[in-house]
């Protein structure tokens, strides 16, 4: 008998018509995320079973807790259907778990087994009480030990581990995430992944005004996000010439407005080349001058592509809480300058006018600069090693 990890599906169970598509996508994602481990996946309408070697079982379970579309994860340990062997295995498992109260729930699928389920609960319960300092609580136990006795062998199940829910990544097609080194955009990316969007990242860099450290920080953030995806890519946009042109031609107060309009144009054009259906970013209403509703609408005017802003209505503290939970916060607060901060004017316009933005843009040939910039985008894809290091 093989060690098994049993997976219950997340929200996809409510989508009856698409169920099969969802389950297949989840299985593909699991296979991709577990590349390098020898596993075998079996799936049915309500559960998925993953066969895995015993020594990797905890490592693999940990990876599964970061895959969207999974509601819960249960490890099943196989043992021969022999009372002493079952007792021995139960103790070995429980020694690694901390709990005060427990109960045993036996299911006897093999009716030839000579002891009834109720009796067997007592046999195993008594054995645990004799060897471990704990109590039985049949109503609200800390731990439920499930034992399933079958002809071919017995399975012992631990408690359920919580999965992260959401939809399998990719089920909704692709989105282009504007990923800066800040706190907000990695959280926005995580939230989009959670809804099943396959995220690619776009990072605007302006060397030598921005440093290599700033770029590496963004790549580090992407590799943390990759734990929730397995196929993140970062597209690095050489933005220096455009930024310098903006700085030279546009009045100070409109620098950020124009810069962001051009970022959106690039995100849209390049996003379409990458088959993305939406742009995702970390804008949050009112956080800075470029994120007032007026600014957003003047900036958004350059594109018809839907722009999804998952953290638009969250407070900074709420965003930080998610950043800590998903593991991006510590990297995000490293102090490297972003291209948005280096040319920051003293008094950015809070309520820009669309007509002015258009007028200032006519002062230079941004279209050919955009063409050149897009043709020099560098793609970073190799996060596999990084991903392993993070385990």
Binding positions for ligand ATP, rule: CB under 6 A: 178-180, 182-185, 202-204, 281-283, 287-288, 290, 338-340
Which of ligand ATP, Mg ion, none does residue 94 bind to, with CB < 5 to 8 Å depending on kind?
none
- Interior CA angle at 157 toward 67 and 4, to 5°? 55
Burial degree of 310 (CB within 10 A; 0-12, 13-18, 19+): buried
Q: Pick from 308, 215, 301: which is nearest to 265 by CA?
A: 301
Q: Looking at beta carbons only, is 27 or 267 nearer to ligand ATP?
A: 267
Distance of closest approach, residue 277 Cβ to Mg ion, in angstroms: 24
* Binding segment toward Mg ion, per CB under 5 A, in 33-41, 173-181, 209-217, 235-243: 173-181
Distance of closest approach, residue 205 Cβ to Mg ion, in angstroms: 13
Compute CA 357 distance to the chain's CA centroid, rounded to the nearest angstrom.
Answer: 36
Q: Looking at beta carbons only, is 136 or 288 nearer to ligand ATP?
A: 288
Dig out the tokens for 116 from the structure: 């009834």
Q: Does 281 bind Mg ion (CB under 5 A)?
A: no
Q: Looking at beta carbons only, is 64 or 308 nearer to ligand ATP?
A: 308
Distance of closest approach, residue 284 Cβ to ligand ATP, in angstroms: 7
Three-class SS state of 3? strand
Q: Are 70 and 64 in contact (CB under 8 A)?
A: yes
Which of Mg ion, ligand ATP, none does residue 380 bind to, with CB < 5 to 8 Å depending on kind?
none
Q: Does 182 bind Mg ion (CB under 5 A)?
A: yes
How many residues bind Mg ion, per CB under 5 A? Answer: 3
Q: Does 180 bind Mg ion (CB under 5 A)?
A: yes
Three-class SS state of 40? strand
Which of Mg ion, ligand ATP, none does residue 200 bind to, with CB < 5 to 8 Å depending on kind?
none
Distance of closest approach, residue 382 Cβ to Mg ion, in angstroms: 25
Q: Looking at beta carbons only, is 74 or 312 nearer to ligand ATP?
A: 312
Which of ligand ATP, Mg ion, none does residue 290 bind to, with CB < 5 to 8 Å depending on kind?
ligand ATP
From CA 172, how far away is CA 296, in angstroms rounded?
25
Which of ligand ATP, Mg ion, none does residue 121 bind to, with CB < 5 to 8 Å depending on kind?
none
Q: Count CB atoms within 10 A of the CB of residue 325.
A: 12
Q: Count CB atoms within 10 A of the CB of residue 234.
A: 23
Instruction: Give the nearest residue (CB) to ligand ATP.
Output: 182
Q: Does 10 bind Mg ion (CB under 5 A)?
A: no
Q: Are 67 and 228 in contact (CB under 8 A)?
A: yes
* Binding segment toward Mg ion, per CB under 5 A, in 9-17, 31-39, 166-174, 180-188: 180-188
CB crowding 257-274: b at 16 or more within 10 Å, else e:
bbbbbbbbbbbbebbeee
From CA 293, how far away is CA 280, in angstroms rounded?
17
Three-class SS state of 155? strand
Q: Looking at beta carbons only, is 180 or 291 nearer to Mg ion?
A: 180
From CA 335, how far away is CA 217, in angstroms rounded?
10
Q: Looking at beta carbons only, is 87 or 260 nearer to ligand ATP?
A: 260
Distance of closest approach, residue 185 Cβ to ligand ATP, in angstroms: 3
Name which of residues 288 to 347 contact Mg ion (CB under 5 A). 338
Distance of closest approach, residue 237 Cβ to ligand ATP, in angstroms: 7
Q: Are 196 and 172 in contact (CB under 8 A)?
A: yes
Which of Mg ion, ligand ATP, none does residue 249 bind to, with CB < 5 to 8 Å depending on kind?
none
Distance of closest approach, residue 287 Cβ to ligand ATP, in angstroms: 5
From CA 60, how far away is CA 72, in angstroms rounded?
14
Burial degree of 177 (CB within 10 A; 0-12, 13-18, 19+): buried
Binding site for Mg ion (CB under 5 A): 180, 182, 338
């Amino acid at each position: 008998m093989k060690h098994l990890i049993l997976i219950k599906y997340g929200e996809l169970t409510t989508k009856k018509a698409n169920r099969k598509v969802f389950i297949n996508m989840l299985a593909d994602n699991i296979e991709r995320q577990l590349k390098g481990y020898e596993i075998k996946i079996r799936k049915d309408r309500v559960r998925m079973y993953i066969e895995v070697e015993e020594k990797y079982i905890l490592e693999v379970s940990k990876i599964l807790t970061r895959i969207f579309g999974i509601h819960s994860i249960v490890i099943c340990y196989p043992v021969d259907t022999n009372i002493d062997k079952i007792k021995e295995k139960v103790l070995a498992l429980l020694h690694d778990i901390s709990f005060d109260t427990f109960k045993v729930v036996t299911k006897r699928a093999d009716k030839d087994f000579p002891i009834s389920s109720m009796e067997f609960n007592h046999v195993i319960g008594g054995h645990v009480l004799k060897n471990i300092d704990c109590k039985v609580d049949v109503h609200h136990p800390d731990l439920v030990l499930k034992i399933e006795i079958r002809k071919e062998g017995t399975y012992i199940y631990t408690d359920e581990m919580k999965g992260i829910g959401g939809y399998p990544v990719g089920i909704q097609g692709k989105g282009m995430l504007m990923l800066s080194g800040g706190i907000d955009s990695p959280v926005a990316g995580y939230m989009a992944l959670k809804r099943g969007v396959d995220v690619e990242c776009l990072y605007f860099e302006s060397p030598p005004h921005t440093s290599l450290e700033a770029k590496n920080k963004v790549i580090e953030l992407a590799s943390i996000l990759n734990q929730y995806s397995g196929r993140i890519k970062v597209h690095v946009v050489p933005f220096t010439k455009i930024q310098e042109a903006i700085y030279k031609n546009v009045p100070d107060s409109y620098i950020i407005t124009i810069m962001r309009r051009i970022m959106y144009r690039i995100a849209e054009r390049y996003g379409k080349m990458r088959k993305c259906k939406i742009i995702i970013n970390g804008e949050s209403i009112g956080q800075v001058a470029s994120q007032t509703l007026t600014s957003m609408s003047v900036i958004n005017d350059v594109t018809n592509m839907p722009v999804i802003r998952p953290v638009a209505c969250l407070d900074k503290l709420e965003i930080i809480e998610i950043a800590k939970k998903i593991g991006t916060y510590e990297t995000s607060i490293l102090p490297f300058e972003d291209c948005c901060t280096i040319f920051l004017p003293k008094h950015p316009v809070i309520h820009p006018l669309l007509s002015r933005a258009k007028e200032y843009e006519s002062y230079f040939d941004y279209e050919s600069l955009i063409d050149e910039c897009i043709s020099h985008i560098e793609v970073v894809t190799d996060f596999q090693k990084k991903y392993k290091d993070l385990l």
